[in-house]
Amino acid sequence: MTRAVAVSLIVLMATSACLAGPDSRGSKTTAGGAMSSHSQSFNPYYSRTDARKLELPDDVWKKVLSPQLYSIARHGSTEAAFTGRYWDYEGKGSYYCAACGNPLFRSDAKFATTCGWPSFFETVRPGSVTYRKDTSFGMVRSEVLCGRCGAHLGHLFDDGPPPTGKRYCMNSVSLEFEPDEAGKH
Ligand SMILES: [Zn+2]
């Protein structure tokens, strides 16, 4: 029992270190934050059933999202590879937008990659995401945004596996995973 608690603490500390490491911009504001809490705990706009589009001012998003999620979702930053909680995660269930709860991907469409970010070959439905041309860093890429709230999720590439050949390369921070109920397939 005691050993299990100790191991849990070590894992928690290691996870916190990973999350805090690459996000130097957020270090000032995360000091008093609850690191383990999911974004929707403080976010009144989060809903997995309300499909209405969300158009909120930037300062509102800043208040309801964690600093790291705000930086990625509203300002397009990218988490460091291999630091997110889902890049090699294999649980069965659904992935939702961490900023607003919009259903985005099923675990059936997730595939193993070596890139260090969770990758999917298709969205759960056509309107789940929208796309925008991104010409930053001297590249032409297709930016992937949440279809409900417009949060930056990641980028779309054409080197994915069959049947679509697409690779939705996502930030773990932008996603919330919900496991399927036991016995339900
Ligand atoms: Zn969203």
Domains of the chain: 42-179 (2.170.150.20)
Contact 92, 170 (CB under 8 A): no
- Tens of pLDDT along 144-178? 999 999 999 999 999 999 999 999 999 999 999 99
Q: Which amino acid is at 95?
A: Y
Ligand 1 mean position to 135 CA, how many Å? 22
Which pLDDT score is estimated for 138?
93
- Tens of pLDDT along 83-106? 999 999 999 999 999 999 999 999
Ligand 1 mean position to 102 CA, how many Å? 5
Taking the CA atoms of residue 25, residue 31, residue 33 and residue 38 in that order, the dihedral angle to the nearest 10 degrees is: 50
Which pLDDT score is estimated for 183?
57
15-29: average pLDDT: 34
pLDDT at 181 over 70: yes
Which pLDDT score is estimated for 146?
98
For this structure, is 100 an active site residue? no
Ligand 1 mean position to 45 CA, how many Å? 10
Distance CA 37, CA 176 (A): 12
Q: Give me the DSSP letters along 85-108.
A: SSTT---SEEEEETTT--EEEEGG
Ligand 1 mean position to 169 CA, how many Å? 16
Annotated catalytic residue, options 97, 100, 149, 169: 169
3-25: average pLDDT: 39
Contact 68, 19 (CB under 8 A): yes
pTM listed for this prediction: 0.76
Distance CA 93, CA 180 (A): 5
Averaged pLDDT score across all residues of the chain: 82
Ligand 1 mean position to 145 CA, how many Å? 8
Any idea which residue has 């590879």 for tokens? 81
